[in-house]
């Protein structure tokens, strides 16, 4: 169901697999996907001196590896169908799910181009003190096939990096409070991150799909 549309944006309300079935084959130039992390396992963490349960919603409930990997293969397969022959996909995630996504991409015929690291400068401390503080997330960039002539705006990326080649690390702060004024999704990505990725791998007028945009 379409619940918002203008001359540049169209937002759907529904299960991503069901909505993807309604999209024409080979019609999308670039995909950015931020699938569930499957973090909600009944545990808690400390924040501002309070014990906060890790329960982000039914969409994030912890499942078995087999269920998680099956889910990833299904949505990646559906995304591959709608992606143009020379299109690419970015898949964002933390260690809870990103490795399954990487394997699923290859199983479904994608060719991985880069493993990009998003380094967050102002992450909260690790209160458990039993492992390293989590300060990065991975973004896998892949093209549809080995024959695909994918878009990479090399010159623009070099210009944005003071004349030097862009490395596979993006450094910046976690999302600012001003970008959460319409809600507090736990894994919302900052605008600068999406702006960087879209500029790197698409051209003006391209059609970009986000299958896990939530409430947008």
Q: What per-residue confidence (pLDDT) applies to 125?
A: 81
Greatest alpha-carbon pair distance for the chain in Å reads 53
pLDDT in tens, 90-119: 999 988 899 999 999 999 999 999 999 999
Q: What phi, psi does 25 have (nearest 5°)?
A: -60, 145
The CA distances from residue 139 to 34, 60, 106, 116, 127, in Å, are 9, 19, 15, 5, 26
Q: What per-residue confidence (pLDDT) applies to 86?
A: 98
One-letter-per-residue 3-state SS of 13-65? CCCHHHHHCCCCCCCEEEEEECCCCCCECCCEEEECCEEEECCCCHHHECCCH
pLDDT in tens, 5-38: 998 999 999 999 999 999 999 999 999 999 987 7
């Amino acid at each position: 169901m379409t619940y918002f549309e203008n001359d540049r944006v169209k937002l759907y309300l529904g299960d991503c697999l069901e909505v993807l079935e309604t999209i024409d084959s080979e019609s999308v130039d670039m995909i950015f996907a931020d699938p569930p992390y499957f973090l909600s396992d009944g545990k808690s963490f400390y924040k501002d001196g309070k014990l906060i349960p890790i329960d982000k919603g039914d969409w994030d409930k912890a499942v078995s590896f087999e269920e998680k990997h099956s889910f990833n293969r299904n949505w990646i397969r559906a995304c591959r169908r709608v992606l143009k022959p020379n299109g690419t996909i970015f898949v964002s995630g933390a260690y809870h799910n990103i490795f399954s996504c990487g394997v699923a991409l290859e199983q479904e015929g994608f060719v991985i181009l880069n493993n990009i690291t998003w380094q967050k400068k102002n992450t909260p401390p690790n209160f458990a003190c039993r492992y390293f503080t989590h300060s990065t997330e991975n973004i896998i960039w892949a093209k549809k096939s080995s024959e695909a002539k994918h878009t990479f705006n090399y010159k623009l990326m070099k210009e944005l990096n003071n004349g030097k080649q862009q490395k596979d690390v993006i450094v910046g702060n976690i999302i600012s409070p001003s970008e959460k004024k319409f809600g507090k999704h736990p894994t919302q990505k900052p605008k600068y991150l999406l702006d960087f990725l879209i500029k790197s791998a698409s051209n003006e007028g391209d059609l970009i799909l986000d299958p896990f945009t939530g409430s947008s």
